[in-house]
């Protein structure tokens, strides 16, 4: 156990002595949790194998799950990657600083542990003044996954970091809530055709405006990779973002989704479970806990609130969370990716759910509970 220091820092005008103290910890091989525009990251010197190994240990992260390297200047790319083509330059010009991670061939000097043994590196420039100043003052690229235990909802507040990692990290820079609330988009440029490996704050539509045709990997839709496939990006292979409660995602036309969720909530509550619902548009479900993710027209707000709401329902002792599905357009794709990954693949078609609740409620109960 270590004593975890928590220091408040102004997000717009970062206090130099505070950031300098955090940077000195990075330089000495320590771990610092810091805010970005997406979620809080758990940072270590990307070129210090021992420090990076500690990140994996503290997070309880599988060793084949690569980290994202954060930089503060475009020139720092040359330390991290081997190839910089026109696509990298154009995307960096349009979206950096910002929530876009690029996967390209790695620089041989980058330790293998940082990239989980891959020949590629994932790199981005965050759009947060505290993060950028920390990287600048540390004078090294910073490897930083989300600052939580692996599999748990990502932290959008410093208190989320402390709940998972207090006593295991050296310092937490607290700059208040993050802006976007879900992680960066990860775009694979290591092959001829660009492929989204994880959707996030930069949308498919925005990338297509720059690159033309962009593929979407099945894992980006929210399907889990199976078998021995080495993930090329965080968030591809394993169950992620999950609350302690069992999460079920109901997809389909909104009218059917709401009818199905209410019927399922009634069934589960009749069997003694505490049930929570992640809804939208202030729709009034009958449940033990209800969180409104905002209007259907604003998936960005839903994405910003998602992880916080999942953690709050855990705090309220909810055992099963039923979540409305969202349209997979714009940030809706990232939102559905997180919901599907958090559910571990427990997804129900709303119309089928309604039929099963009428004809065979025991069957749908068994499907959800896995018994």
Cβ atoms within 10 Å, residue 367: 15
Residues of the chain with CATH 3.90.870.10: 5-184
CATH match for 5-184 among 3.30.2130.30, 3.40.50.11540, 3.90.870.10, 3.90.1150.10: 3.90.870.10
Backbone angles phi, psi at 262, to 5 degrees: -65, -40
Which residue in the block uniquely carries the two structure tokens 């790695």?
106
Token pair in block for residue 155: 């932290």
Predicted pLDDT at 220: 86
Instruction: List the beta bridge partners of residue 44.
Output: 143
Topology (CATH level 3) of domain 246-369: Rossmann fold (3.40.50)
Cα–Cα dist 59/54, whole Å: 8
Predicted pLDDT at 359: 96
Q: Which pLDDT tens digit goes with each residue over 213-229?
A: 999 998 888 765 554 45
Which residue in the block uniquely carries the two structure tokens 């503290």?
58
Predicted pLDDT at 272: 97
Segments of the chain with pLDDT less than 50: 227-228
Nearest in space to 323 (alpha carbons), one of 278, 260, 263, 257 = 278
In the chain, at which residue ranges do the beta strands (DSSP E only) sit? Answer: 5-8, 32-35, 40-45, 68-70, 100-105, 120-124, 142-143, 171-174, 185-188, 195-198, 215-216, 246-251, 275-279, 289-292, 320-324, 347-349
Residues of the chain with CATH 3.40.50.11030: 246-369
């Amino acid at each position: 156990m270590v004593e975890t220091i928590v220091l408040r820092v102004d997000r717009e005008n970062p206090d130099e002595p505070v950031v300098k103290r955090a940077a000195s910890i990075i330089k000495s091989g320590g771990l610092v949790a810091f805010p970005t525009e997406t979620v809080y990251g758990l940072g270590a010197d990307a070129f210090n194998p021992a420090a990076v190994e500690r990140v994996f240990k503290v997070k309880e992260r599988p060793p084949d799950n690569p980290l994202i390297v954060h930089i503060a200047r475009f020139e720092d790319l040359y330390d991290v990657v081997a190839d910089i083509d026109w696509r990298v330059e154009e995307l960096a010009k349009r979206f950096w600083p910002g929530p876009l991670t690029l996967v390209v061939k790695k620089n041989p000097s980058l330790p293998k542990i940082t990239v989980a043994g891959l020949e590629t590196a994932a790199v981005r420039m965050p759009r947060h003044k505290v993060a950028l100043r920390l990287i600048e003052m540390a004078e090294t690229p910073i490897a930083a996954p989300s600052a939580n235990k692996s599999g748990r909802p990502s932290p959008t507040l410093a208190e989320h970091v402390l709940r998972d990692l207090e006593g295991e990290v050296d310092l937490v820079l607290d700059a208040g809530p993050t802006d976007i609330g879900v992680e960066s988009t990860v775009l694979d440029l290591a092959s001829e055709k660009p492929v989204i490996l994880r959707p996030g704050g930069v949308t498919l539509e925005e990338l297509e405006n720059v690159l033309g045709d962009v593929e979407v990997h099945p894992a980006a839709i929210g399907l889990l990779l199976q078998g021995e496939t080495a993930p090329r990006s965080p968030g591809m292979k394993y169950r992620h973002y999950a609350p302690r409660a069992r999460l079920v995602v109901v997809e389909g036309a909104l009218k059917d989704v709401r009818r199905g969720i209410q019927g399922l909530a009634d069934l589960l509550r009749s069997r003694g479970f505490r049930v929570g619902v992640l809804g939208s548009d202030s729709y009034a479900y009958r449940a033990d806990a209800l969180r409104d993710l905002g209007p259907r027209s604003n998936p960005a707000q839903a994405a910003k609130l998602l992880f916080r709401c999942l953690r709050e329902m855990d705090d309220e002792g909810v055992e099963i969370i039923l979540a409305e599905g969202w349209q997979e357009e714009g940030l809706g794709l990232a939102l559905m990716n997180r919901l599907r990954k958090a559910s571990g693949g427990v997804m129900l078609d709303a119309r089928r759910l309604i039929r099963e609740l009428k004809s065979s409620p025991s069957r749908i109960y068994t499907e959800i509970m896995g018994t």
